[in-house]
Homo-oligomer: A and B are copies of this chain.
Amino acid sequence: MRVLGVDPGLTRCGIGVVDIAPNRTATMVAVDVVGSPAGMELPQRLLVISEAIESWLERYQPQVLAVERVFSQTNVSTVMGVAQVSGIVIAAAARRGISVALHTPSEVKAAVTGSGRADKAAVTKMVTKILRLEQEPKPADAADALALAITHAWRSGPNSSAAAGGQLTPARKLWLEAEAKAKKNSERSSKQQWR
């Protein structure tokens, strides 16, 4: 499954593409942050982001677009721009028949780190581990876009929270699995270094 995650914003809009294998391994395909300077006129700013989204949808042909669900409570000063960008992004996907999934920030944090209250640094760290990246994706908007894509794939797959059993909360289980996998990979890469 290929998911395009978008962390909407006018100044910085994170876009990330992640492929998820049937065994749940997540692989980053591409990531970028597009945006526009605050001094630019609003229509031009929205156009820049609209064109970027269209080109990413065209280029990467995702099956799903995962975007942050925006709340009016959070960050009043920037929320209008965030909502305008999210509207553009959602409509662009709908126009192409790509299904759209909305996830709250807490859902993303819980899916990726095991805690709905994790901070940005923890999300970035886990995204880096889960995707086996050599460097942390920066800025945070890039990591958030990737986290959204991972969240969607993990939550909606056959092994998703709804399907998972056991005593561990699904998010916690994912976290432990991801951490174990990350550790294994890091050991493997250490071994490779010494081979």
Sorting the interface of chain A by its residue count into under 10, 10 to 19, 20 to 34 or 35 or more gives 20 to 34
User: A43 to B84, Cβ gap below 8 A?
Assistant: no
- Closest 3 interchain pairs by CB? A84-B87, A83-B83, A47-B94
Dominant SS at the A interface? helix
Residue A102 is within 8 A (CB to CB) of chain B in the complex? yes
Residue A113 is within 8 A (CB to CB) of chain B in the complex? no
Q: A71-B80, A79-B80, A83-B84 are in contact. List 11 more A-B contacts (CB 8 A).
A: A43-B90, A44-B94, A47-B91, A50-B91, A50-B95, A73-B76, A79-B83, A80-B83, A84-B90, A85-B87, A87-B87
Q: Which residues of chain B come closer than 8 Å to A85, judged between CB atoms? A: 87
Partner of A84, one of B73, B84, B93: B84
CA distance A87 to B85 in the complex (A): 6
Q: Which residues of chain B come closer than 8 Å to A87, judged between CB atoms? A: 46, 83-88
Residue A70 is within 8 A (CB to CB) of chain B in the complex? yes
Q: Which of A20-51 contact B (CB under 8 A)?
A: 42-44, 46-47, 49-51
Residue A192 is within 8 A (CB to CB) of chain B in the complex? no
CA distance A46 to B65 in the complex (A): 15
Q: Which of A97-116 contact B (CB under 8 A)?
A: 99-100, 102
Most chain B beta-carbon neighbours within 10 Å: one of A51, A88, A100: A88
Q: Which of A42-69 contact B (CB under 8 A)?
A: 42-44, 46-47, 49-51
Residue A167 is within 8 A (CB to CB) of chain B in the complex? no
User: B83 to A46, Cβ gap below 8 A?
Assistant: no
Residue A135 is within 8 A (CB to CB) of chain B in the complex? no
Residue A193 is within 8 A (CB to CB) of chain B in the complex? no
Shortest CB-to-CB span from A74 to chain B, Å, is 10
